[in-house]
């Protein structure tokens, strides 16, 4: 089988993308996240007050995995926790009949406030799943054997609805060749390495290793690269109150690329203007990874590409131009 689900920007800045998923008998809007491996949802186990504005999963006690719990925290300090159920999950017509559904009993304030997001669907390796006493599989791992091809493809778009394809490559969604590289899945993520970066048409050799992460809005790279980029943007500065580099909204932003598998993967300058700030300037889509030791190739990087995540005998990542 194969199937496709839309990925709809949650706001005008593409802060996150939401996809409809049937969980049990409810349709929820989940953030598909290649940066984590838990499928968790707002649920009837939560206080009614924290469910306002959300669709949520009506738990069926008969489906509970007794004694199983989960607790996750994310890079931005948000988090959630709860109990585990085995239930039907359908994404774009692809059905997992007994998927581990992590029903929230508590979520951090940021999730309660963000009324569009009814939970997350993790697409990293199942080794990062937080369920105890026994780790559970991601949706992708659960359905892998029934997929026509062992892959999913990510087609996020700039200020427009894109899609997640499961089990097939949609030729109408890209142009030119697909360039494949081996994925480093040793840390539980879809890891890639670049051998150079370019700002405008000036290219610099450097090793940039990072993870593909649909659940992260921006593109985080090492500080020297960030400094070199904004040196080319008139009026840009590091603004600690805004938490990153900002620039005049009228600025012309150079393209940025990472050379992966010998091919330049270009991020158009236009995509690097993330959003206006409360201070009247604009916030950059490229920011420093604060020395966490690896780069995070988030939505700003992904939204100009069609990215195939293939879990074959050797995990591979394929990049093609949208
Ligand atoms: C709010 C914002 C200014 C637009 S933002 O740029 O911060 N965007 C947030 C996402 C967001 C958008 C809209 C509303 C609310 C939250 C963002 O990019 N958050 C990153 C923070 C970050 C990481 N690095 C640099 N910044 C994050 O935590 N992303 C995780 C998913 C998020 C969580 C909050 C809700 C939206 C989805 C993530 O999963 O992609 C992750 F990889 F960063 C992460 O934290 N993965 C958890 C990995 N653990 C490892 C141990 O085992 C368990 C799993």
Taking only the tens place, the pLDDT of each residue in 21-68 is 999 999 999 999 999 999 999 999 999 999 999 999 999 999 999 999
pLDDT of residue 115: 87
CA of 216 relative to ligand 1 center, distance in Å: 5
Residue 304: pLDDT above 90?
Answer: yes
d(CA 121, CA 102): 10
Atom in ligand 1 nearest the alpha carbon of residue 37 = 54
* Average predicted confidence (pLDDT) for the chain: 97
Q: Which of 14, 42, 108, 217 is the best mutation target for the ligand 1 pocket, counting ligand atoms within 8 Å of the beta carbon and taking the most?
A: 217
Q: Is this model's pTM higher than 0.80 or not? A: yes
CA of 215 relative to ligand 1 center, distance in Å: 6
Pocket of ligand 1 (CB under 6 A): 15-16, 31, 33, 35-36, 72, 74-76, 78, 110, 114, 128, 130, 213, 215-218, 220, 296
CA of 76 relative to ligand 1 center, distance in Å: 5
φ, ψ at 112 (rounded to 5°): -60, -40
CA of 284 relative to ligand 1 center, distance in Å: 17
- Reported as a pLDDT band with limits 50, 70 and 90, residue 223 is very high
ipTM entry: 0.97
Residue 313: pLDDT above 90?
Answer: yes
Burial class (CB in 10 A: 0-12, 13-18, 19+), 34: buried
Mean pLDDT of 293-302: 98
pLDDT of residue 291: 79
d(CA 239, CA 28): 37
Atom in ligand 1 nearest the alpha carbon of residue 216 = 18
Share of the chain above pLDDT 90, in %: 98
Residues 239 and 279: beta-carbon distance below 8 Å: yes
33 annotated active-site:
yes
Strand partners, 6: 163
d(CA 259, CA 194): 5
Nearest residue (CA) to ligand 1, atom 7: 76
């Amino acid at each position: 089988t194969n199937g496709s689900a839309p990925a709809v920007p949650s706001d005008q800045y593409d802060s996150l993308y939401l996809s409809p998923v049937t969980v049990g008998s409810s349709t929820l809007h989940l953030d598909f996240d290649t940066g984590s491996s838990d499928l968790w949802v707002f649920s009837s186990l939560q206080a009614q007050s924290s469910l306002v504005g959300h669709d949520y999963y009506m738990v069926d006690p008969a489906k509970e995995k007794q004694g199983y719990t989960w607790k996750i925290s994310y890079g931005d300090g948000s988090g959630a926790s709860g109990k585990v159920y085995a239930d039907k999950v359908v994404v774009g017509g692809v059905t997992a009949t007994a998927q581990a559904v992590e029903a929230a009993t508590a979520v951090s304030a940021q999730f309660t406030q963000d009324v569009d997001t009814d939970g997350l669907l993790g697409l990293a390796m199942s080794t990062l799943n937080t369920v105890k006493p026994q780790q559970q599989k991601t949706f992708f791992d659960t359905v892998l054997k029934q997929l026509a091809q062992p892959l999913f493809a990510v087609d996020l778009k700039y200020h427009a609805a894109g899609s997640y394809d499961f089990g097939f490559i949609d030729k109408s969604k890209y142009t030119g060749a697909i360039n494949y590289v081996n994925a480093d899945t040793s840390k539980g993520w879809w890891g890639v390495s670049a051998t150079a970066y370019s700002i405008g048409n000036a290219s610099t050799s450097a090793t940039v290793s990072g993870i593909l992460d649909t659940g992260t809005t921006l593109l985080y790279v090492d500080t020297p690269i960030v400094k070199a980029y904004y040196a080319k943007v008139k009026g840009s500065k590091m603004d600690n109150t805004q938490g990153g580099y900002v620039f005049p909204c009228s600025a012309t932003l150079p393209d940025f690329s990472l050379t992966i598998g010998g091919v330049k993967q270009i991020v158009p300058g236009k995509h690097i203007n993330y959003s206006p700030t409360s201070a009247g300037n604009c916030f950059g889509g490229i920011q420093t990874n604060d020395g966490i030791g690896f780069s995070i190739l988030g939505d700003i990087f992904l939204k100009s590409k069609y990215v195939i995540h293939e879990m074959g005998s050797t995990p591979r990542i394929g990049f093609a131009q949208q």
